[in-house]
């Protein structure tokens, strides 16, 4: 049986695309979800800032703002969704 450290090492050694490991991809998906959460909780403005005050460059369709409150209420709780976001491709190195 593999340890969690071994699984993460395999994810780091297997590539999702050139220049990005499966582990890096999961980290990226997680960071984008965090940004989406920030956008959902921000007032509609031309400039949307992340948690560190850096401007986000997302281009969002008009329906996003129309349904923002509904989307916000339905967004998965990060404490639950964290593991899926970061490790949804963990089996790829073993295929």
Residues 6+ apart with CB under 8 A from 85: 26, 29, 30, 33
What is the overall mean pLDDT for the chain?
86
| pLDDT of 48 | 72
| pLDDT of 64 | 85
pLDDT above 80 for 43: no
| pLDDT of 59 | 81
| pLDDT of 46 | 60
Beta-ladder partners of 55: 49
Does the pTM surpass 0.85? The reply is no
Break the chain into its structural domains and give their ranges: 23-94
From residue 7, how far is each of 24, 29, 56, 62, 68 by CA, in Å? 13, 18, 32, 41, 37
Percent of the chain beyond pLDDT 70?
Answer: 93
| pLDDT of 44 | 67
pLDDT above 90 for 77: no
């Amino acid at each position: 049986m593999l340890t969690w450290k071994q699984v993460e090492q395999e994810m780091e050694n297997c590539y999702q695309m050139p220049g990005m490991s499966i582990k890096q991809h999961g980290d990226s998906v997680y960071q984008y979800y965090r940004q989406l959460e920030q956008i959902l909780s921000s007032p509609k403005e031309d400039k949307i800032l992340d948690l560190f005050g850096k401007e986000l460059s997302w281009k969002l369709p008009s329906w996003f703002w129309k349904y923002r409150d509904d989307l916000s209420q339905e967004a998965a709780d990060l404490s639950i969704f964290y593991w899926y976001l970061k490790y949804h491709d963990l089996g790829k190195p073993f295929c």
